[in-house]
């Protein structure tokens, strides 16, 4: 078994390459994804290899990209639309919420939308208000959508391969801060990471930290550095999230916190807190805490204050451990 | 009348079209009256748009795809969708393919190449463009027709779809069923430009037709379909008719408009069709009366039959959200039932 050192951009690029070569029905569409290879270079070289009819440079209209992709998916293609920045997805929101998410349900299963919508999300790249948002809760709140976010190159490939066989619309959120942050061994061969299954990034006994996307390496390094005996859960699939894995861990540790960069109120942290409050109250030794972005828009110059960081995480860890 | 058929074929085709228009009209009247009696929850009448829809439908082949909107009963009837499918949807009964999940007038008929209908207007247009792209990519001999009202031309979806279809030179017909009213807003307050003229701005072909006349509409649609099928790109047809009824059974048009075309007046598409068919010696008053009473009988009979079907079972509410039911929905199902 051969493998290569790849960053997340390279891992996704090679997986898209694999998808296009293996299945004629796969098409990519998005702004600047062809000749330019995408603003983050995720689709570099694919148009030259597979042609402009399958790696489509789209006019600048998000609702058209998503709407067209849905129409393709309804007609036997496997479209992988890209929205250049997740912040720009909102003009396509009706297409996602009222079309993609509801077609299977409203047609009694006659129609379905096997589409993988890829989009970079999150802060940490000096993107300001409109190139930094984490909108996962909007999508997770919509019945019919499946929301995925990898936190490393290996998972990105395995989750994307599982997504290729999935028959419902997926919002594949790529944490852009991690695109080139680290390289790791990624097998050349095909492998799958199941949708809906979290991974235990690190085992521990004193508390459980539930997180995903760009926060995973941050939480991991904070915990390592400060020698906290924490169990870290990387959700990988945000919706449907792996309730069983969360519950098992929290029953063991008795303390839980959730870390994400999206705003706190009604974010995934709220959902997971409620989930734990409903079924793990007898096991909890401390209140469930959330370390998140604040309920403000995402500020450009002050992004370091906005994003969760080691200090905020350790402060919450201290609070959890000291609670009596 | 046309070179497409010999005389007997032409007579058969035209009479079948008339028959679809009559059946649609009887269907419409039945559902509106059933709604008044509390037997149906809601309905968006089609009355006045029969010729537009049947005329375009006549120009299509079996494999062509239609991304319709919620007022397209005559279109569906003429393409062979059994009225049972429409009735089951309107009643939301246990035989409805969508298990009673949608309000009436939101049909599904995949088997007959109709898309599932949504409420937000014009949202079907970008999907139709995607379908046309798939057809072109696979070099299939098909066209897509997508339908919408005059109000839809104000939406970003209309603009996006017209632009994309033109940029990619796709085999698609945009059928604007201009019935002149978007609920209470008249078309002259919807847009400052005649709808068919908008095509030019996108590099598409635009054409306007009297949508009350099924033969005129058929002629224009046939040219449009041939054009799209032969790779010459999208066509926007503006078929001008009139919404004789209200927007929906929940709407009272007397609040915002005085009467325009009324049922049975000389612009009524059914009256025009009868006149045309009589001129061609294809039909007599006697045959017309017979066809109308037969259509009414069929609709009454089918309505009573479908009305007896029980509602969907409560547990079906949780199906078809995803291919595999998630653990979350399984739990919620357990709590509800």
| Contact with chain B for residue A110, Cβ under 8 A | yes
Whether residues A34 and A153 share a domain: the answer is yes
CB B157 to CB A69 under 8 A?
no
pLDDT of residue A31: 98
Taking alpha carbons only, the member of A283, A281, A290 closest to residue A316 is A290
Mean pLDDT, chain A, whole residue set: 98
- Tell me, yes or no, whether A19 lies in a domain: yes
pLDDT of residue A1: 80
Residues from chain B contacting residue A103 (CB–CB below 8 Å):
116
Helix (H, G, I), strand (E, B) or coil at A277: helix
Whether residues A123 and A255 share a domain: the answer is no
Kindly report the backbone phi and psi dihedral angles of residue A201, in degrees, each rounded to the nearest multiple of 5, phi listed first.
Answer: -70, -35
| Buried-state track B138-174, b at ≥16 Cβ within 10 A, e below 16 | eeeebbbbbbbbbbbbebbbbbbbbbbbbbbbbbbbb
pLDDT of residue B2: 54
Whether residues A302 and A262 share a domain: the answer is yes
For the stretch A108-161, pLDDT in tens is: 999 999 999 999 999 999 999 999 999 999 999 999 999 999 999 999 999 999
Q: What would the mean pLDDT of B75-82 be, rounded to a whole number?
A: 98
Domain of residue A303, CATH code: 3.40.50.920
- Has residue B1 got a pLDDT over 80? no
Is residue B256 part of the annotated active site? The answer reads yes
Task: Classify residue B120 as exposed, middle or buried by CB count within 10 Å of its CB (0-12, 13-18, 19+).
Answer: middle
Taking alpha carbons only, the member of A314, A44, A104 closest to residue B325 is A104
Whether residues A100 and A208 share a domain: the answer is no
Question: Which spans in A39-152 are helix H?
Answer: 46-50, 62-73, 93-94, 103-106, 136-140
d(CA A185, CA A7): 9
- Has residue A61 got a pLDDT over 80? yes
- Tell me, yes or no, whether A303 lies in a domain: yes
Helix then strand count (H, E) for chain B reads 12, 7
- Has residue B250 got a pLDDT over 60? yes
Q: What would the mean pLDDT of B117-141 be, rounded to a whole number?
A: 98
- Tell me, yes or no, whether A318 lies in a domain: yes
| Buried-state track B212-234, b at ≥16 Cβ within 10 A, e below 16 | bbbbbbbbbbbebbebbeeeebb
Taking alpha carbons only, the member of B162, B229, B159, B174 closest to residue B56 is B174
- Tell me, yes or no, whether A229 lies in a domain: yes
- Tell me, yes or no, whether A194 lies in a domain: no
- Has residue B241 got a pLDDT over 90? yes
Q: B7-336 in CATH: which number?
A: 3.40.50.970
pLDDT of residue A105: 98
* A117, β-bridge pairs: A171
For the stretch A34-47, pLDDT in tens is: 999 999 999 999 99
What are the residues whose beta carbons fall under 8 Å from the beta carbon of B45, sequence distance 6 or more?
B28, B31, B32, B71, B243, B244, B245, B246, B248, B249
d(CA B176, CA B149): 5
Domain end: A187, A221, A249, which one? A187
Domain end: A143, A166, A187, which one? A187
For residue A267, the number of C-alpha atoms closer than 13 Å in the C-beta half-sphere is 23
d(CA A292, CA B246): 51
- Has residue B79 got a pLDDT over 90? yes
Interface of B with A in 121-150 (CB under 8 A): 123, 125-135, 137-138
Q: What would the mean pLDDT of A233-245 be, rounded to a whole number?
A: 98
* A247, β-bridge pairs: none
CB B128 to CB A103 under 8 A?
no
- Tell me, yes or no, whether A192 lies in a domain: no
Q: What would the mean pLDDT of A11-40 be, rounded to a whole number?
A: 98
Structure tokens at B140: 């299939």
d(CA B131, CA B67): 9
Provide the pLDDT confidence category of residue B298 given band limits of 50, 70 and 90. Answer: very high
Our count of domains for chain A comes to 2
Whether residues A215 and A166 share a domain: the answer is no
Max Cα–Cα distance, chain B, nearest Å: 66
- In angstroms, the separation between the Cα of residue B44 and the nearest Cα of chain A is 18
Domain end: A166, A187, A208, which one? A187
Structure tokens at B92: 């939301």
CB B97 to CB A63 under 8 A?
no
Provide the pLDDT confidence category of residue B5 given band limits of 50, 70 and 90. Answer: confident
- Has residue B3 got a pLDDT over 70? no
Please report where in the chains the tokens 């069983």 appear, as a residue.
A244
CB A66 to CB B157 under 8 A?
no
Domain of residue A129, CATH code: 3.40.50.970
- Tell me, yes or no, whether A193 lies in a domain: no
pLDDT of residue B4: 72
Is residue A260 part of the annotated active site? The answer reads no
| Contact with chain A for residue B155, Cβ under 8 A | no
Whether residues A172 and A205 share a domain: the answer is no
pLDDT of residue B336: 86
Residues from chain A contacting residue B170 (CB–CB below 8 Å):
none
* A81, β-bridge pairs: A29
Q: What would the mean pLDDT of A75-94 be, rounded to a whole number?
A: 98
Whether residues A140 and A16 share a domain: the answer is yes
Question: Which spans in A184-267 are helix H?
Answer: 215-225, 243-253
Strand duo B65-67 + B144-149: pairing: parallel
Q: What would the mean pLDDT of A199-210 be, rounded to a whole number?
A: 98
d(CA A310, CA A293): 13
pLDDT of residue B196: 98
Interface of B with A in 63-122 (CB under 8 A): 65, 67, 96-99, 101-102, 106, 108, 110, 115-116, 118-120
Residues from chain A contacting residue B137 (CB–CB below 8 Å):
27, 53-54, 77
Among B79, B243, B276, B306, which one carries the catalytic annotation? B243
pLDDT of residue A228: 98
- The beta strands (E) that lie in chain B are given as 65-67, 144-149, 172-178, 181-182, 185-186, 205-210, 235-240
For the stretch B90-123, pLDDT in tens is: 999 999 999 999 999 999 999 999 999 999 999 9
- pLDDT over 70 percentage in chain A: 100
Provide the pLDDT confidence category of residue B19 given band limits of 50, 70 and 90. Answer: very high
Among A78, A131, A236, A290, which one carries the catalytic annotation? A131
Q: What would the mean pLDDT of B139-167 be, rounded to a whole number?
A: 98
**Three-point CA angle A10, A11, A14, nearest 5°:** 80
Contact indicator for A92, A62 with CB cutoff of 8 Å = yes
Q: Which is more confidently placed, B173 or B5?
A: B173
Domain boundaries, chain B: 7-336
Whether residues A271 and A245 share a domain: the answer is yes
Whether residues A281 and A204 share a domain: the answer is yes
Range of the domain at A180: 3-187
Contact indicator for B174, B224 with CB cutoff of 8 Å = no
| Contact with chain B for residue A104, Cβ under 8 A | yes
**Three-point CA angle A38, A42, A45, nearest 5°:** 80
Residues from chain B contacting residue A104 (CB–CB below 8 Å):
320-323
């Amino acid at each position: 078994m051969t493998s290569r050192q790849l960053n997340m951009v390279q891992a996704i690029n090679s997986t898209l390459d694999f998808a296009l070569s293996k299945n004629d029905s796969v098409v990519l569409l998005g702004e600047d994804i062809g000749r330019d290879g995408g603003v983050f270079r995720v689709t570099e070289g694919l148009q030259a290899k597979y042609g402009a009819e399958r790696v489509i440079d789209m006019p600048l209209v998000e609702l058209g990209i998503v709407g067209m992709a849905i129409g393709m998916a309804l007609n036997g293609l496997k479209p992988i639309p890209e929205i250049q920045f997740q912040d720009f997805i909102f003009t396509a929101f009706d297409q996602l919420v009222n079309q993609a998410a509801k077609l299977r349900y409203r047609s009694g299963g006659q129609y379905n939308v096997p589409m993988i919508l890829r989009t970079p999300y999150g802060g940490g790249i000096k993107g300001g208000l409109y190139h930094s948002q984490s909108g996962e809760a909007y999508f997770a709140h919509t019945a019919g959508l499946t929301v995925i976010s990898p936190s490393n190159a290996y998972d990105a490939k395995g989750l994307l391969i599982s997504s290729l066989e999935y028959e419902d619309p997926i919002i594949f959120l790529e944490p852009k801060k991690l695109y080139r942050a680290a390289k790791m061994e990624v097998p050349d061969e095909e492998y799958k990471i199941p949708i809906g299954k979290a991974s235990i990034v690190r085992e521990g006994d004193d508390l459980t930290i539930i997180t995903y996307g760009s926060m995973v390496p941050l939480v991991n390094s904070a915990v390592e550095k400060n020698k906290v005996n924490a169990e870290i859960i990387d959700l990988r699939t945000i919706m449907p999230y792996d309730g069983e894995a969360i519950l098992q861990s929290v029953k063991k540790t008795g303390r839980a916190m959730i870390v994400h960069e999206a705003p706190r109120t009604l974010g995934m942290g709220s959902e997971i807190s409620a989930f734990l409050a409903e079924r793990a109250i007898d096991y909890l030794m401390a209140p469930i805490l959330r370390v998140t972005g604040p309920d403000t828009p995402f500020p450009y110059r002050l992004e370091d204050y906005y994003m969760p960081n080691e200090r905020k995480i350790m402060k919450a860890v201290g609070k959890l451990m000291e609670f009596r | 009348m046309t070179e497409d058929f010999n005389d007997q074929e032409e007579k058969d085709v035209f009479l079948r079209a008339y028959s679809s228009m009559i059946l649609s009209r009887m269907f419409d009247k039945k559902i509106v009256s059933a709604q008044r009696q509390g037997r149906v929850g809601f309905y968006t009448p089609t009355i006045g748009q029969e010729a537009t829809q049947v005329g375009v439908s006549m120009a299509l082949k079996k494999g062509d795809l239609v991304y319709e909107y919620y007022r397209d009963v005559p279109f569906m009837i003429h393409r062979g969708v059994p009225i049972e499918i429409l009735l089951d949807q309107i009643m939301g009964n246990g035989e409805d393919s969508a298990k009673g999940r949608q309000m009436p007038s939101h049909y599904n008929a995949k088997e007959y190449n109709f898309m599932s209908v949504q409420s937000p207007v014009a949202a079907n247009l970008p999907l139709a463009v995607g379908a046309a792209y798939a057809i072109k990519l696979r070099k299939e001999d098909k066209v897509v027709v997508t339908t919408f009202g005059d109000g839809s031309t104000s939406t970003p979806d209309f603009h996006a779809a017209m632009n994309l279809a033109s940029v990619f030179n796709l085999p698609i017909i945009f059928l604007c069923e201009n019935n002149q009213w978007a609920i209470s807003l008249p078309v002259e307050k919807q847009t400052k430009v005649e709808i068919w003229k908008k095509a030019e701005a996108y590099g598409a072909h635009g054409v306007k037709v009297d949508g009350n006349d099924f033969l005129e509409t058929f002629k224009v649609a046939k040219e449009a379909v041939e054009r799209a099928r032969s790779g010459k790109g999208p066509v926007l047809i503006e078929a001008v008719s009139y919404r004789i009824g209200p927007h929906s059974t929940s709407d009272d048009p007397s609040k915002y408009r005085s009467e325009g075309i009324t049922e049975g007046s000389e612009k009524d598409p059914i009256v025009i069709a009868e006149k045309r068919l009589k001129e061609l010696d294809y039909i007599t008053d006697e045959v017309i009366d017979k066809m109308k009473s037969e259509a009414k009988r069929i609709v009454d009979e089918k309505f009573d039959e479908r009305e007896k079907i029980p509602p969907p079972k409560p547990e079906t509410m949780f199906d078809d959200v995803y291919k595999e039911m998630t653990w979350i929905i399984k739990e919620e199902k357990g709590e509800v039932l």
